């Protein structure tokens, strides 16, 4: 029983880790190299994230600097950034690409905050689905006689405590990211 509950807790941890990754890709007015995580280029026939073909640095608070290791890839990186949903146009000096992040408007901040809340809600739905799966597993185990009614009740209570803990963590992360976005 404990092993099964640990499996479901691992799934909850992965859900939170996924939420963290999603939130890291949302820019909050400051330059953050993680906004490039999902942008890939065709590098010798394989789709490769920009971070694996270039050095990405933050020389100033609102500037990302991308220095490809292979200078022939500079046009491919520039094109990938232009076609992405990032909404920032790169400047290219022949060896380095610079992304200058403009100050976010109040309207854009509100849009990003809504997007953060949607991602948080999606994580909470995923957590509830995990709880449902765990509860079904407990019911099946009880019917099959694998454990007693008291064990099942205890397991259900443990799952509920787990879900509350992870939902609270998800809410805290969403709140922190929303606050970061809305801070001028």
pLDDT in tens, 57-102: 988 888 889 999 988 889 989 988 888 877 788 888 888 999 888 7
Residue range 123-133, pLDDT digits in tens: 999 999 999 99
Architecture field, domain 2-24+105-182? Orthogonal Bundle (1.10)
CATH class of the domain at 33-100: alpha beta
Q: What percent of the chain has pLDDT over 70?
A: 97
- Helix, strand, coil shares of the chain, percent, nearest 5, are 60, 15, 25
Domain chopping of the chain, boundaries: 2-24+105-182, 33-100
Q: What is the C-alpha to C-alpha distance for residues 124 and 22, in angstroms, rounded to an integer?
A: 14
- Segment 104-129 mean pLDDT: 90
Question: Is 0.95 surpassed by the pTM of this model?
Answer: no
- Segment 136-160 mean pLDDT: 89
């Amino acid at each position: 029983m404990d092993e099964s509950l640990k499996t479901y807790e691992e799934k909850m941890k992965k859900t939170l880790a996924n939420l963290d990754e999603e939130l890291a890709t949302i820019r909050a007015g400051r330059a953050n190299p993680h906004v490039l995580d999902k942008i890939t280029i065709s590098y010798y026939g394989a789709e490769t994230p920009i971070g694996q073909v270039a050095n990405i640095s933050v020389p100033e608070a609102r500037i990302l600097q991308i220095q490809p290791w292979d200078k022939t890839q500079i046009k491919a990186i520039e094109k990938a950034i232009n076609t992405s949903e990032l909404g920032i146009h790169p400047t290219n000096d022949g060896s380095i690409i610079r992304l200058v992040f403009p100050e976010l408007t109040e309207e854009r901040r509100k849009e990003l905050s809504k997007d953060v809340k949607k991602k948080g809600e999606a994580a909470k739905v995923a957590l509830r689905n995990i709880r449902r799966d765990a509860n079904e597993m407990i019911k099946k185990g009880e019917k099959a006689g694998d454990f007693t009614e008291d064990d099942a009740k205890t397991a259900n209570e443990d799952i509920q405590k787990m879900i509350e803990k992870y939902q609270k963590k998800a809410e805290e992360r969403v709140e922190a990211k929303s606050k970061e976005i809305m801070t001028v």
